[in-house]
Amino acid sequence: MITRDVKNNEYKKVDELFSIAFNLPLDPPGDNEEDKEPDDWRVASFLDDDTTMTSCIYIPFFEMNFDGSMCKMAGIGGVSTPPQYRRNGGIRACFDYALPKMYEKGMDFSYLYPFSTAYYRKFGYENCCDMEVYKIRLEHIPFFKTKGQIYMIDETNRDKAVNDVKKVYSCWEKRYNCMTAPTEDSFEWVTKASPLQGTEYNFVYKNESGIATGYMRVATDIGTERNLCCRQFVFEDIDALKAMLGLLRTYAADFLHVSINMPRDTNLEHVLPEWSFGAVSRTLYPFGMIRVINAESVLKKASYKGSGEFVICLKDEKIAENNGAFKVTYKEGEDTVVSKLSLEPSENYIKMDISLFSSLIAGARTLTEAMFMGDIEGDFCVDDFDNVFYRKPMYIMASF
């Protein structure tokens, strides 16, 4: 087996492999698309002839918010192996090849949406963001009174709407760890919005001062359950939240429920008055897995509370540079100092594998919670790490 970067003239093979692996028809290329160089990185495994592609992944690069600073993140998508080549180690070979390369390319993190969490834990990934889905019976949403106005995005206002949506999105980009900076196609749904052509309707809320503070994408499904679905429901404050919920209430004549995807830290208990009689249900879904690519860089960029010092020993089977002991000294208002020790200490240290560290440093859980997840060794007091590993606001909306 040979594993390497995909060459420019092999990108059609990648698309064909993806089509077969996921039982999807192959889209015909658009104008000049065959000559266009894709801007993401792709890795594939081949038979020994170095021609027959057996497995592939594509790796788009993003700027991702981490504790208030933008870090480089490698997404993972299009993980594909046709049936005849499965269970031969092709995808494992792709990850074994790609992960050290990500380190060389200056990535801090990698993120993916798994088909299997157990499978990707083998490569150092761990559950990260959660998505809370509220299913609300529309008749139980109050008619909230707000002083702003909502407009529907259509062909007449799409240019204006792009700026409004970008402004609101940037609020969450700064608020939540794992939110990514917009790419060229992040707001394509705005520039192509055409409510007369489909079943998706997009709205922007402007407050009393005429400033955009919320937007939502509403998809209609007149199936057996007659549901609305809000794939994106983004708001800066309670005023925008109530205004958009109030608009959804107006659909009650034709639809029964609305499902709204929200970050885990959003709590509607005091916004919606009725929670009995099946008025509201909420379900928490794991929404992706994260992996630290450069531990030293991430330790420097992490936000700690107050001042202190600790030594952490990491185990990483895929990226050699992450193995070993790191001494971290942090002080409020000053840059964090991280140094790699030549030897692991025998006292006053904590030791864990890269997947658990990735989850902790990103802010998905506390050390107390993590003690039940995996092997943690060392000579330490759990309470001493309350200022190091703590829950942080987390969400992600990027597709890849």
pLDDT at 115 over 50: yes
List % helix, strand, coil for the chain (3-state, nearest 5). 25, 30, 40
Give dist(CA 224, CA 192) in Å, integer: 29
Q: What is the pLDDT of residue 30?
A: 52
Q: What is the pairing mode between strands 227-235 and 289-292?
A: unpaired
- Contact yes or no for 256/225 (Cβ under 8 A): yes
Summarize the confidence of residues 349-364 as an average pLDDT.
96
Give the confidence band of 87 by pLDDT, cuts at 50, 70, 90. Answer: very high
Summarize the confidence of residues 332-341 as an average pLDDT.
94
Out of 27-36, 99-108, 109-118, 391-400, which region has the weakest mean confidence (pLDDT)? 27-36
Give the confidence band of 188 by pLDDT, cuts at 50, 70, 90. Answer: very high
Out of 29-38, 85-94, 108-117, 375-384, which region has the weakest mean confidence (pLDDT)? 29-38
Domains and their CATH numbers in the chain: 2-127 (3.40.630.30), 132-286 (3.40.630.30), 295-385 (3.30.1050.10)
Summarize the confidence of residues 37-51 as an average pLDDT.
86
Q: What is the pLDDT of residue 37?
A: 54
DSSP for 88-115, please give it.
SSHHHHHHHHHHHHHHHTT-SEEEE--S
Out of 75-84, 195-204, 216-225, which region has the weakest mean confidence (pLDDT)? 216-225
Q: What residue ranges in 163-256 does DSSP mark as E strands?
A: 200-206, 212-221, 227-235
Residues in Cβ contact with 81 at an 8 Å cutoff, skipping those fewer than 6 apart? 17, 21, 54, 55, 90, 91
Using DSSP, state whether 309 is helix, strand or coil.
strand
pLDDT at 33 over 70: no
Q: What is the pLDDT of residue 220?
A: 85
Give dist(CA 183, CA 163) in Å, integer: 14
* pLDDT one-digit tens code per residue, 281-315: 999 999 999 999 999 999 999 999 999 999 999 99
* pLDDT one-digit tens code per residue, 137-152: 999 999 998 899 999 9
Residue reference for tokens 């919606």: 272
Query: How much is the pTM?
Result: 0.91
Using DSSP, state whether 33 is helix, strand or coil.
helix
Q: What is the pLDDT of residue 222?
A: 60
Q: What is the pLDDT of residue 31?
A: 47
- Contact yes or no for 324/314 (Cβ under 8 A): yes
Give dist(CA 206, CA 288) in Å, integer: 32
pLDDT at 109 over 50: yes
pLDDT at 64 over 80: yes
